């Protein structure tokens, strides 16, 4: 199996011992994306803006891999506060087309940099 790192100038660079994404051939794995503006390195203001930026970062990485949101088969959404679920869900529904990917959503104790939402995805290439 070959593994190719996925990165994009339109998404934040990895800041630790991990890759923003890995292309494993038929399957692409993207690390969790915070609502970080890739140009400034700062978080967007508010949970909806962070969700939009997180998904924009995901979209940029998908594009770098030659994929789109329609190719996503599984997502994991991490929230600092579960009461933000409805707001994040509304933004999420604007981005992903039907049939929607499978999804898990968790409230966590804290996210890096004080983030309010982090989203990771797994995408599949058409065969």
Which residue numbers are catalytic?
Answer: 105
List CB contacts of 40: < 8 A, sequence separation 6 or more.
none
Answer whether 7's CB lies under 8 Å from 57's CB. Answer: no
Name the residue among 31, 39, 45, 15 with its Cα closest to residue 118. Answer: 31
Q: Characterize the bridge pairing of strands 4-6 and 21-23.
A: antiparallel
Answer whether 58's CB lies under 8 Å from 10's CB. Answer: no
């Amino acid at each position: 199996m070959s593994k190719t790192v996925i990165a994009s100038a339109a998404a934040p660079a990895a800041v630790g011992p991990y890759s923003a994404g890995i292309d494993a051939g038929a399957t692409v794995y993207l690390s969790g994306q915070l609502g970080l503006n890739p140009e400034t390195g700062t978080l967007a203001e508010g949970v909806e803006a962070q969700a939009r930026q997180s998904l924009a970062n995901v979209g940029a990485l998908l594009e770098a891999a030659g994929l789109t949101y329609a190719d996503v088969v599984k997502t994991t959404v991490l929230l600092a506060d579960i009461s933000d679920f409805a707001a994040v869900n509304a933004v999420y529904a604007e981005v992903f087309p039907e049939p929607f990917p499978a999804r898990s959503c968790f409230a966590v104790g804290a996210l890096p940099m004080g983030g309010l939402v982090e989203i990771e995805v797994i995408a599949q290439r058409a065969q």
